[in-house]
Structure 1
Amino acid sequence: MTHEVRAVVARKKGAPVSVETILVPDPGPGEALVEVQACGVCHTDLHYREGGINDEFPFLLGHEAAGVVEAVGEGVTGVAPGDFVVLNWRAVCGQCRACSRGRPWYCFDTHNATQPMTLADGTPLSPALGIGAFAEKTLVAAGQCTKVDPTASAAAAGLLGCGVMAGFGAAVNTGGVGRGDSIAVIGCGGVGMAAIAGAEVAGVSKIIAVDVDERKLEWAGQFGATATVNSAKTDPVEAIRELTGGFGADVVVEAVGRPETYEQAFYARDLAGTVVLVGVPTPEHTIELPLLDVFGRGGALKSSWYGDCLPARDFPALIDLYLQGRFDLDAFVSEKIGLDDVEKAFDKMHHGSVLRSVVVL
C-alpha cells in the first residue's frame, strides 16, 4: 500500500520550499512508518535547501520530529504500532568497529530506510538526515525510532531529535561538565541554549553565555546562564577570563561553527581545559593556530556529533527530566506553525527572532 501525504519539498537550490503530495510506501523489513505529530524547523533543513549539504535534490525536509508508529516491517522488534517515538538520525548498527568497542555513539554504519519516498510522478526524494519529517507520515529505519513516555508534548519531545540533544550532549557528554565546573557557550541559538540548559542540569556553578545579540543573551539567562557577554561590545576571551578568576573556563562550547569564534573558544579555556565544537562549519572554513599554543595549553579539542548521544539511552532520560520539571523543553518552542509556514520560519530563523518554530500536524 502507498500512502499519499502532504509534505515540504525543496526542489532547487535556494528556491522557496513547496508543500506537495508525496508517496510513502508501507514499511519493508527493518523499517517503520511513523505518523508525524510535530517537527522542529532546524538550521540543517535550511542548509539542505541552500545546497549546503549536497545537491541530491529534491529534498524532503524535516528531521527534528516526534510521532506515533503506524506500522512496522518484518523483523522489527524494538518498536510496535502505537508507540510514541522521537526520531533520530543515527540508528546504530551494533556491528561496526565503534559499536563492537562499546562506543555506539560513534557508529560508522548508521541505518536509514531503504525504500524511497517519492514525488507524485515517482521521482525519488532525498529525506533530510534520512528522516524527512515535514510530512504527515514518513518512512524510517526502525532503529531511528526511540520510544519515550507518551505523556510528553510532541512539540517539545521532537526537539531532542537534533538541536537540543546536540547542545545538551556537547556540554554533558562531550564536554563532561559537572558540579563545580565552569563553562562558556559561544553562540546562543537553539544548540547553544541547549548546552546552557544541559550545564545547569549537570550542576555547573558558572555558566557564561556569549553572543552578539542582546535578545539571545536575555534568553540565555532564562535557560541557566549565570553571566552573559556581548562579544560585539567586549572581547569575549578577556571577559570569560575575568569571570573565571583570570584562568578561563573549564569547558568552552563553540556553537557557531566559524574560525573566529573557534579561536575565541581556544583561548578562553583554562589550561588543560576542553573546547567542544558543535557549531557546523561550511567547507571553505579553515583555522590556523600556533602549534606551540596547542601543545602548551594542553587539554582537549573535541568535536561533538549529535552531542555524542546514544538515542536509546539519552532520549528517554531527557524526557524523564522534562516531565519532572528539571529540563524545560517547552521553553525552546518559540511558535507552533503548519506545514505551509515553513518558508516563513526559515526567514525568522535567519533573522534570529526564534529559537525553534515547530510544525504541528
Structure 2
Amino acid sequence: MAYEVQGVVARSKGAPVSIETILVPDPGPGEAVVDVQACGVCHTDLHYREGGINDDFPFLLGHEAAGVVSAIGDGVTNVAVGDYVVLNWRAVCGQCRACRKGKPWYCFSTHNAAQKMTLADGTELSPALGIGAFVEKTLVHSGQCTKVDPAAPPTAAGLLGCGVMAGAGAAMNTGGVGRGDSVAVFGCGGVGDAAIAGSKLAGATTIIAVDIDDRKLEWARGFGATHTINSKDADPVPRIKEITGGFGVDVAIDAVGHPHVYEQTFRARDLAGTVVLVGVPNPAMKIELPLIDVFGHGGALKSSWYGDCLPSRDFPMLIDLYLQGRFPLDDFVSETIGLEDVEQAFEKMHRSEVLRSVVVF
C-alpha cells in the first residue's frame, strides 16, 4: 500500500515550485522508506527547477537530508527500521571497474530505488539526485542510507548529504590538504566554506578565502579562513602570492565553476601544487590555458565528484567530529523553514542571504 504524503515538486522549467500529494510505494527488494526529518535547500535543487540538470520534469526536489528508516524491502541488510541515517547519492555498486580497483568513491554504477514515486494522478516523479527529500517520506535504495550517531540533530547531519561533504571532501579527499599546507578557496558559499572548514580540520595553517561579497568573506573567517580577498576590487592572484611569500598555495580550490575563476585558481598555486574544481560549470563553458604553463607548473589538476567521498566512511567520521566540537555543521544553517517556504528560500539563495535554509518536518 502506498504512503500518501506532501512534498515539493517542480512541474516545469522555471516555474515556481508547488506542494503536492506524493504517493510513496512500499519498499521493494533493496529499497528503504525514510521518514525525512530535515532537508537542506541546495543550489542543485534550484538547477533542477531551472532545467539545468535535465528535462525529466516533474521533479521531486530535495536531497540533503537526514531521517529515520521506517520500512525496508527484501534483502536489505545494511539498515534496519528505526536507524537514523543521512541520505547520499553515491550508493556504491561494489562491482564496477572503479569499485573493483578499490576506489568506490568513483563508483560508476551507483544505485537508486527501482520503483517510482508518483503524483496522485499516477504521474511518475524524477527525484533530485535519486533521492527527492522535500517530502515527509521518501523511497531510496538502501545503499543511499548511511547510519550515523543519532545524537547529531537532523538539521546539521543532513547537510553532509551534498554541499558540506562536497566542499570538505574537495579539500581533504581530492586536494589532500595536510598539516602546514596553504590553501586558497575561490567562492565562499556553502561548498566553499565547507572546503575552508575541511582545510582547517586537516591542519592547513594558511587558508585564503576569495569572493566578491564581503558578507561571505566574513562568514569564511568564521569557518577558519586566515586571510580574505575581495576579488571584485583587485586580481586575487598577486595578493595570494604575497601572502605565501611569493610562491602560491599548495592547494587551490575553485568552488564556483567559472572559467575566469578556474584560471585564477590555476595561477594561484605553487609549483607542484594542486588545483581542485568542485564548483559545477554549465555545459557551454570552455577554458583555454597555455599548455606550457600546465606542464611547467607540474602538480595536478583535479575535479572533485561529491568530494570524492565514501559515505559509509566519511559521514560517520564527520558526525563524530561534529559531536566533539571539531567540525561546525551548525554554522552552515542560516534558518529553518517549512515546506511552504522553499520557493522563498531559493530567492534568498539568489541574493546570497543564506548559506543554507533547512526544511524541518
TM above 0.5, yes or no, is yes
- What is residue 18 of structure 2 aligned with on the other side? 18
Map Cα deviations across residues 227-249 of structure 1 (whole Å, 9 max, x no partner).
00000012111111111000000
The CA deviation at 1:251 is 0.2
After superposition, residues 1-361 of structure 1 pair within 5 angstroms as 1-361=1-361
CA RMSD of aligned residues (A): 0.4
The CA deviation at 1:211 is 0.2
Whole-Å separation in 2 of the counterparts to 1:168 and 1:160:
9
Whole-Å separation in 1 of the counterparts to 2:127 and 2:219:
32
The two structures have a TM-score, normalised by structure 1, of 1.00
The CA deviation at 1:263 is 0.3
Whole-Å separation in 2 of the counterparts to 1:177 and 1:3:
45
Q: Secondary structure at the match of 1:307?
A: helix
Whole-Å separation in 1 of the counterparts to 2:178 and 2:234:
27
Equivalenced residues, count: 361
In structure 2, runs of 5+ residues without a counterpart are none
The one-letter code of the counterpart of 1:214 is D
Runs of 4+ in 1 over 2 A off after TM superposition: none
Map Cα deviations across residues 142-192 of structure 1 (whole Å, 9 max, x no partner).
000000000101000000000000000000000000111000000000000
The one-letter code of the counterpart of 2:202 is A
Q: Secondary structure at the match of 1:334?
A: strand
Map Cα deviations across residues 284-304 of structure 1 (whole Å, 9 max, x no partner).
100000011111111100000
The CA deviation at 1:203 is 1.1
Map Cα deviations across residues 255-304 of structure 1 (whole Å, 9 max, x no partner).
00000000000000001100000000001100000011111111100000
Whole-Å separation in 2 of the counterparts to 1:255 and 1:186:
6
Whole-Å separation in 1 of the counterparts to 2:328 and 2:268:
28
The one-letter code of the counterpart of 1:295 is F
In structure 1, runs of 5+ residues without a counterpart are none
Whole-Å separation in 1 of the counterparts to 2:200 and 2:274:
18
Whole-Å separation in 1 of the counterparts to 2:148 and 2:79:
11
Whole-Å separation in 1 of the counterparts to 2:149 and 2:94:
24
Identity %: 78
Whole-Å separation in 1 of the counterparts to 2:112 and 2:44:
18
The CA deviation at 1:111 is 0.2
